[in-house]
């Protein structure tokens, strides 16, 4: 395996790479029979929560592995605008992989201290942070128990602590919400925001769109290893549907709408007899309301934002998705 740690780039002051925590430029990775990542470029700003989304096989895991230095890109560059991302323990990077596990037959206290030390912490710091995080997750009184004695949710908390115990500048969290109940999902959301507010940059990948929508500052949807859509949730809404949508109920059937209406992009009938009315790009809510209010038999109007889940499904469906499996690393030809 190649070690991308060796690929260093000397950056000049004022370079945009330095002002961002992470910059990927035209990164590609090919396995024997499939191109997992195909000329992907994006930037993650410092101190933001950035979500990397995509269907199974879109290239997320491969991208994350290249960021972590586990895989070397065939083309392109992975660059960091933070220190401590190279060397023997890469103390400013944290990683929670999708396929994760820890030493099940070891006490959780030892496991966390070991991972902290692996990331360059001193013995005392690793011990102190272990105490802090176990107390925070209400596992302080079980610190000498073996990991295998914990529930799946508690194991997930230990996993999470192992990834960020050393307080990295950039934490990459692959599916951080999996295995958590709704209460703990909320706990983790708060935690992510707290870590970001404390200065940490977080790149996460998840399939729980409602959770991503609540925490991500910006997001990138990829498919077949390529960039499909990037921006804040509001920007994505705006790009996909003009950002404005109304649900209307009419007494007299479908709305009277001309094909070339300058305000309305589309009207979709719903099963309950109401209609979704989407505004054209750039049309304000007040303008759309003015149009709708003139329709005869108007009984009810409600403003509705398109959810990230819908945007994601639409975007992925348009791109054709992807099903290659990058969970096992194969040598490049």
Partner 1 sequence: MSRWQVTMLLARWEFRRYFKWKGQIISWSIMAVLMVGLAVVGPRLVKKAVSETTEVGIVGETPFEVPPAMGLTFRRGDEPELRRAYEAGEIGGLLSLSSDSEGTIESRSEAGWLFGLRAALNQGRKASRLEAHALDPAVLTDINAPFRLEVVHPADTDDDQDEAVAETKPPGSRRPSKWDKILTFAMLSFMTMGVFSGTALLFTGITSEKQHLVTEQIVAAVPPQAWIDGKILGNGMRAIESVIEMVVWSLLGMLIWRGYVNPDFAGFDQVSPGLLLVIAALCTLGFALWFCFFAAVAATIDDPNTSSRGMLIMMPMIAPALAIPAYLHPDSGLALFSSLFPPTAPMALTVRLVIAEVAAWEVIVALVGLVLATAVLRRAAGKVFAMAILMRGKELGWREMWRAARTSG
Q: Which two tokens stand for residue 325?
A: 């499996």
The C-alpha angle with vertex 299 and arms to 296 and 305, in degrees rounded to 5, equals 105
Q: What are phi and psi of 5, to 5 degrees?
A: -55, -25
Give the whole-angstrom CA distance, residue 293 versus residue 204: 42
Distance, in Å, from the CA atom of 321 to the CA atom of 206, rounded to the nearest integer, reads 16
Q: Cβ distance 276 to 305 under 8 Å?
A: no
Of 31 and 275, which has the nearer Cβ to partner 1?
A: 31
Alpha-carbon gap, residue 278 to 129, rounded angstroms? 50
Of 61-69, 187-195, 257-265, 290-298: span binding partner 1 (CB under 8 A): 61-69
Query: Which of residues 54, 55, 57, 69 is near partner 1 by CB under 8 A?
Result: 69
Q: Give the residue, chosen from 197, 272, 300, 328, that forms a contact with partner 1 under the rule CB under 8 A.
A: 328
CB 82 within 8 A of CB 118: no
Task: Name residue, tokens 């002002």.
Answer: 19
Closest approach of partner 1 to the CB of residue 307, in Å: 32
Binding residues with partner 1: total (CB under 8 A): 37
Q: Does 6 bind partner 1 (CB under 8 A)?
A: yes
Distance from C-alpha of 328 to C-alpha of 232, rounded to nearest angstrom: 32
**Binding to partner 1 by residue 295, rule CB under 8 A?**
no
Asked if residue 44 lies in contact with residue 20, where contact means CB atoms within 8 angstroms, the answer is yes
Nearer to partner 1, 273 or 331 (CB): 331
Instruction: Confirm or reject binding of residue 331 to partner 1 (CB under 8 A).
Output: yes
CB of 93 to partner 1, least distance (A): 7
Piece in contact with partner 1 (CB under 8 A), picked from 41-49, 200-208, 235-243, 324-332? 324-332
Q: How many CA atoms lie within 13 A of 126 on its CB side?
A: 19
Instruction: Provide the token pair at 120.
Output: 């360059």
Contact flag: residue 330 with partner 1 (CB under 8 A): yes
* Joined tokens for residue 9: 């780039």
83-122: contacts with partner 1 (CB under 8 A): 88-90, 93, 95-97, 99-104, 106, 110, 114-115, 117-120
CB of 42 to partner 1, least distance (A): 20
Q: Out of 252, 268, 293, 327, name the contact with partner 1 by CB under 8 A.
A: 327
Residues 140-169 that bind partner 1 (CB under 8 A): 162-163
Tokens of 271: 């099963």
Q: Which is nearer to partner 1, 9 or 327 (CB)?
A: 327
188/177 Cα distance (integer angstroms): 8
| Smallest gap from residue 108 Cβ to partner 1 (A) | 14
| Position 11 contacts partner 1 (CB under 8 A) | no
Taking the CA of residue 186 as centre, how many other CA atoms within 13 Å lie in the half-sphere pointing to its CB? 2
Binding interface with partner 1 (CB under 8 A): 1-3, 5-6, 65, 68-70, 88-90, 93, 95-97, 99-104, 106, 110, 114-115, 117-120, 162-163, 327-331
């Amino acid at each position: 395996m190649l070690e991308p740690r060796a690929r260093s780039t000397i950056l000049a002051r004022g370079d945009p790479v330095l002002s961002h925590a992470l910059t990927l430029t035209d990164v590609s990775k090919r396995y024997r029979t499939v191109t997992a990542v195909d000329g992907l470029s994006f930037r993650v700003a410092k101190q933001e929560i950035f979500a990397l989304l995509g269907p199974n096989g879109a290239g997320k895991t491969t991208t994350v592995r290249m960021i972590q230095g586990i895989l070397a890109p065939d083309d392109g560059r992975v660059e960091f605008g933070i220190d401590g991302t190279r060397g023997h323990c890469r103390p400013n990077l944290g990683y929670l992989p999708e396929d994760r596990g820890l030493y099940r037959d070891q006490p959780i206290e030892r496991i966390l201290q070991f991972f902290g030390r692996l990331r360059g912490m001193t013995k005392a710091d690793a011990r102190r942070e272990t105490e802090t995080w176990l107390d925070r997750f209400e596992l302080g009184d079980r610190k000498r128990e073996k990991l295998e004695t914990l529930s799946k949710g508690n194991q997930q908390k230990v996993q999470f602590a192992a990834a960020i115990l050393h307080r990295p500048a950039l934490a990459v969290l692959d599916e951080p919400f999996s295995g958590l109940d709704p209460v703990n999902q909320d706990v983790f959301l708060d935690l992510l925001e707290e870590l970001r507010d404390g200065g940490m940059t977080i790149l996460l990948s998840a399939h729980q769109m409602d959770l991503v929508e609540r925490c991500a500052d910006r997001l990138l949807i990829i498919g077949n290893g390529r960039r499909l859509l990037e921006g804040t949730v509001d920007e994505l809404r705006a790009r996909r549907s003009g950002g404005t949508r109304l649900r209307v109920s009419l007494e007299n059937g479908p709305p009277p709408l001309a094909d070339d209406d300058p305000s309305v992009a589309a009207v979709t009938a719903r099963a309950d007899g109401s209609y979704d009315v989407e505004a054209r790009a750039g049309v304000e809510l007040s303008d759309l309301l003015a149009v709708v209010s003139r329709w005869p038999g108007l009984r009810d109007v409600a403003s509705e934002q398109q959810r990230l889940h819908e945007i994601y499904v639409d975007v992925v469906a348009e791109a054709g998705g992807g099903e290659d499996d990058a969970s096992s690393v194969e040598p490049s030809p």
